[in-house]
A and B are shown apart, each in its own frame.
Chain A
Amino acid sequence: MESFRFCFLMLTIAILASPALSDLVLSKVDRRRPYVLQIYLTSHIVRISSTVKVENAGPEKESLVLLAFPEQQAKNMAYLMAAPHEGKGKVKNPVVALPVKAANPKDMPAALTFYSVSLPQGLAEGDSFTFDVLAVFTHALRPIPEQITQADIQLVLYQDSAHYLSPYAVKVQSLSVKLPDSRIESYTKLENTKIHGSEIKYGPYENLPSFSYSPIAVHFESNLPFAVAQELVREIEISHWGNVQVTEHYKLIHGGAQSKGEFSRLDFLARPIVRGASAFRYLVANLPPRAHSVYYRDEIGNISTSHLRGDSKKTELLIEPRYPMFGGWRTAFTIGYGLPLQDFLYESDGKRFLNITFSSPMVELVIDALIVKVVLPEGSSDISVAAPFPVEQWQETKISHLDIDGRPVVVLKKTNVVPEHNQFFQVYYHFSQLSMLREPLMLISGFFFFFVACIVYMHADISISKSSASYLAKRQWEEVQAVVQQVQNIISRCLTIHDNLEASLRDLSRTGNIQACKAARKAADGLLKELSKELKPLLTFLQSSPSAAQVEELVAKERELQEKVMVKHSTVVDGYEKKLGARDIENRVALQQQKLTALRQEVDDLLEFIDEI
């Protein structure tokens, strides 16, 4: 602490020794309305908004106004913006911002960092101009004590100057410091110091010389979430099939006072406000409207503690880390969501451009290092980026689903990011609509060739050797199979003929038409002869095959059966011709009939057996 103060003291001296830069006079620097410097300490992001009325007291025309920040602050500065003052109200991202550049004027103390604001038109002598400056600082609050137990409240210290540090003389100036809570441990008391609940007012001070500096320190309670993302990788992937997929990988730390000693869940659950005041339990992300497929997980799986509420204006995602975040505790997680493409992708003069916010949707989150990767569809070209503030930028390639040469990735990197950076940026690129069909066509052709290959394989004979024993054996076996099949067919046809003969006999017994029966017999004879003729070459072919014995047996049995059927037929027909009684005929045939059935049985069995081969 002491050394810190001393440092500031040195600084003050240094500033006082330096000469005035120009004859500009800050007629009124107000930290309170209408011309006030206001310091918002209501979150862990420090915001200093000041309204400056600048007046040219010298003869020369001036168009540049220098803003000075001590090195200590400049190091932590995340965002600086100046805009013409528009009556009442705070600075609200006005449309026309004044250009702000880092400046390095000569003969200025080295311990200060300067930025120059270019005024819209030069100020002639006596002219004045009013503008607002918003400066945002991160890591500017220092927890004192640095380590607290679970039961302690978190106290932080903020240091600044009560006087407006400027290379110009200041006519009137006042300062107000807004705190989150009225509980203040201590604060520097100067003349004209007032305290209004959670607001401390310094000033007004009049006619301050240039570089006047009066250190103040405010030590107060702040139990707001000190959420700091040490690294955030945002991947925005565009699919022209209608989706913008955003994936955000957070590495989060509680940036407040380190927790020490035991963590008792009991105390935390029983009295969460007293025991565990410094911890934060949830974060809120304001996603764009119509965000869908939201997920929240880490490397070991889904995290079930989250809530999603949505309306037409925005989608609010409330996430709880796996455990309450105490000072110094870390966690890492990923959230992802899909957005409708038409809300973010536009076309202008032949080029498409993506218009999407740069930073994290989390509320009041400080990001130490933000990497935004915009993955464009495969085949995009002429890529350019328009960002509202300077960023580091390079290109990569990402190979994803079914890519051949990868998707171009624009990588933007920025350190020290605050919610004020959550502005829209644009990525312009060329993309032909036909490239969209690339992957489906690839899949279709892939499957097509696969099936064609299958068909070719099934139909082509790809044996290595046409003369190898096994191949020949296989071919032979196939032939034998075919022949056996034919034999079986013939035999079964024979059997059908036998059945027809039997049928004709039955007709005979019913009608007594001997002639018809004889005709049937004749036809059957002819057919059977034909069939036996057909059978001969097949049998000779089969002679050498292993199943020849069975087939021959089958044929022999069939012959026998054939003969028996014929004999029976002729006996019956004879009987009718001789006009014997039906019973006589049956008696005569009975024996034959028995043999017939037995034979038929055997033939059937053989057929079945052969069939199994």
Chain B
Amino acid sequence: MAAPETSTAAVQTLYTNNTLRNAFGGVLSFFILLLIGVMAFSIRLFSVIKYESVIHEFDPYFNYRVTQFLAKNGIYEFWNWFDDRTWYPLGRVIGGTVYPGLTLTAGTIWWLLNSLNIPLSVETVCVFTAPIFSAFASWATYLLTKEVKGTGAGLTAAALLAMVPSYISRSVAGSYDNEAVAIFALIFTFYLYIKTLNTGTLFYATLNSIAYFYMVCSWGGYTFIINLIPMHVLLCIVTGRFSSRLYIAYAPLVVLGTLLAALVPVVGFNAVMTSEHFASFLVFIIIHVVAFVYYIKGILSPKMFKVAVTLVVSVGLAVCCAVIAVLIALVASSPTKGWSGRSLSLLDPTYASKYIPIIASVSEHQPPTWPSYFMDINVLAFLVPAGIIACFLPLSDASSFVVLYIATSVYFSGVMVRLMLVLAPAACITSGIALSQAFDVFTGSIKFQLTGASSNTEVDAAETSSSTAESQTDAVKTEKPEETAKNRPSRKSKKKEREHGEKPSTKAKAEKKRLLALPLESSVISLLLLVLLGAFYVVHCVWAAAEAYSAPSIVLTSHSHDGLHVFDDFREAYAWLRHNTDVDDKVASWWDYGYQTTAMANRTVIVDNNTWNNTHIATVGTAMSSPERAAWEIFHSLDVKYVLVVFGGLVGYPSDDINKFLWMVRIGGGVFPHIKEPDYLRDGQYRIDSQATPTMLNCLMYKLSYYRFVETDGKGFDRVRQTEIGKKYFKLTHFEEAFTTHHWMVRIYKLKPPKNRIRGKTKKSKSKTSSTTSSPKRSGTKKKNPWQ
């Protein structure tokens, strides 16, 4: 009599134990998530610790400047902001041409903090926006993966994403760029989509549209979402997985999302006009047709249904053909087929290099190399295939989405380095799934093997009463039917989902586990190997965060035998411009430095990193590649007072203007045909030594870069090109050196005023026309100055 009573009591305690355990699991995963967030934030602080709390690189400076404006002038002024400090004399309507998500986010954080009387500067807020949003992104990854494969996979994926180098590269503290916020928005939108798909509630569908709106605000990459989700919907329909949940997940997103997207000034009517969005509308129509068909199918008897189908299909085909023909005609009539250049270069990787040198000239628009995959996602590259397999066991709506996501993002990352960023979350999610499944299998089999080996030694207090009975029955039923092996995988995965909620009837599971179980030794070894792999990943990520991706690129450091050298030349030059030139002076430089000049030096620039006007950039490119006189005329007609060039030859800074010069020639030559690339190349080779062409040696860029350079060491040895320069002694007639930084990395020249120059010049040029093969050309180029 005693035995049954104890067993019921045991069941009772087990039940309470389970709830306790669930609660404990919840608290544990909450704290793990919290720690993941802290890690995601703190791993990105290397740049602040190693360098300083400063905005990085190029684009972030523009965003920072816009945020400053927003903080100072308010939202309405921001929308109407016409910036006359850039693209002189055209100007730029910032409010209408910028993705405002990041700016508004940081502006809101700043405003919130200040209204709570926490007086942080705009700069501080901007610097730390990216790390904060990385933490959000890893939490969003947890949610998304949890929807797909359960809590364990979610936590693993979140931890992986928190430190994936690819994402770190765009979101270290100070890297105040759109992507920092956009990746969070991307993952969160996907999460809400999957959540809607799993639950079918309109609430989440609405949230999904709002998240999509935030994504549209933040980044041009939103087109990825609006193409991927329709693809997935189509996939579901084709594979016969249509359901009302799918409809609720998709239809509101298209309607609300498109309406909201059109509210963003930079998108506006593009949300319905450009081809990037057509896929979503097409699928929107298809899903309605399918929904209608399912509805009719429910109403009619099977026979009637067949009749109706033949009727509708014959009529519908004709109508569809007509509509599609009209659509194609419409699209084909526009020159770019309704696609923007960047999107086209995604579909056709060779498009940019053929037609748009400006897009091709940006290094982050180049296709990545294999090492960069290893650098950016490291061991995830190996785990991804395993994760994809795990997604098929079993295939659900959510896991099919993940498969589709990883497949498309792998393609896109192969086209542009920059889109590696889109791949990173997908890789983290699939790898998270793979890792957690593998851990499940290994730990499960270890647990089984241990309990199986010594039945009474390692058992929970709650299981003691039944364990003896269990093991005995096990002994009786040694021959387990083999048939169950067939549906093993699905059951296994089901079990995965409720690892925490362990049921009282462990016996049957133990049976199944026995079949799945690996030998103890091999599972222990595999487990160790997996941990090792994870450790390797962590080490790599920390290294990448600390060494590779933390440099702000405006401050350079180098370690030499006598300690750390700091090259702060950029800011030196910008500070000089800011304090020692007139407020309204115009500074010409290659577009790379436009954003920095406006933000740090607060001077008007001719072109900047928002490369919206190719002709304008080509004008600057032409001036840089023209001889001095012609260049002076172009610059003078643009009202330029100072010309800024970046020169790395003295200290060996490789990304200077001489190395970028061919792009200036190409872009300039694309608009002004008298600039010909072959003129600057000797036998197809770009060189600046004595073999260089006279056009090259006489162009403005060469002269401004190497003016008096030979006097530094007597030979004029360029440490970037590793060669002696071709033309060593020359004078400037139309420009004068205004400022050169400590390591010569930035050289600023002032245009000489016109009157004095013309008189002095006619005399001088005659006296020193030793190398004026270009003098007949001067008169030629003079006429072609586009600004006269």
Q: Which A residues have a C-beta under 8 Å from some C-beta of B? A: 261-266, 270, 298, 300-305, 322-323, 329-332, 399-404, 489, 492-493, 495-497, 499-500, 502-503, 506, 523-524, 527, 597-598, 600-601, 604, 607-608, 611-612
Contact = CB atoms under 8 A, between A and B. Distances in A.
Interface stretch (B77-85, B565-573, B681-689): B565-573
Given A499-B507, A523-B4, A598-B481, 14 more contacts: A262-B736, A264-B740, A266-B740, A300-B54, A322-B571, A329-B576, A331-B575, A332-B579, A400-B117, A489-B15, A496-B11, A496-B504, A500-B469, A601-B508
Interface in B483-516: 484, 491, 494-495, 497-498, 501, 503-505, 507-509
B741 A265 contact: yes
Contact of A300 (B11, B574, B711): B574
Interface residues of B, number: 59
A607 B508 CA distance: 11
Given A493-B7, A496-B11, A403 B117 contact: yes
Q: Which of A323, A597, A604 has the most CB of B within 10 A?
A: A323
B15 A401 contact: no
Contacts of B469: 496, 499-500, 502-503
A189 B709 CA distance: 48
Contacts of A404: 117
B3 interface: yes
Nearest to B557: A304
A329 B744 CA distance: 19
A265 B571 CA distance: 16
Nearest to B119: A400
Interface of B: 1, 3-4, 7-8, 11, 15, 52, 54, 116-119, 466, 468-470, 472-473, 476-477, 481, 484, 491, 494-495, 497-498, 501, 503-505, 507-509, 554-555, 566, 568, 571-572, 574-576, 578-580, 600, 708, 711-712, 736-742, 744
Contacts of A399: 117, 119
10 contacts: A265-B741, A266-B708, A300-B54, A301-B52, A302-B54, A330-B579, A496-B8, A502-B472, A502-B473, A612-B494
Contact of B4 (A264, A305, A497): A497
Q: Which of B4, B495, B554, B741 has the most CB of A within 10 A?
A: B4
A6 to B, nearest CB: 35
A272 to B, nearest CB: 12
A265 B495 CA distance: 73
A600 B4 contact: no
Contact of B503 (A298, A492, A502): A492
A118 B501 CA distance: 95
Given A322-B571, A330-B580, A597 B505 contact: no
Contacts of B504: 489, 492, 496
Nearest to A398: B119
B738 A401 contact: no
B58 to A, nearest CB: 14
B119 A322 contact: no
A399 B118 CA distance: 9
Q: Which of A300, A323, A524, A527 has the most CB of B within 10 A?
A: A300
B118 A402 contact: yes
Contact of A265 (B7, B466, B554, B744): B744
Nearest to A612: B494
A499 B473 contact: yes
Contacts of B574: 300
Given A329-B579, A331-B579, A604 B505 contact: yes
A489 B19 CA distance: 13
Contact of A304 (B8, B468, B566, B600): B566
Nearest to B568: A304
Given A497-B4, A502-B476, A262 B505 contact: no
A301 B54 contact: yes
A493 B8 contact: yes
Contacts of B52: 301-302
Contacts of A527: 4
Contacts of B476: 502, 506
Nearest to A403: B117
A551 to B, nearest CB: 16
B555 to A, nearest CB: 8
Nearest to B749: A262
Contacts of B468: 503
A261 B736 contact: yes
B641 to A, nearest CB: 15
Contacts of B578: 300
Contacts of B566: 304
Contacts of A492: 11, 503-505
Contacts of A597: 477, 481
A493 B11 contact: yes
A216 B182 CA distance: 73
Given A262-B738, A263-B737, A300-B574, A499 B4 contact: no
Contacts of A608: 491, 494-495, 503
A494 to B, nearest CB: 10
Nearest to B570: A300
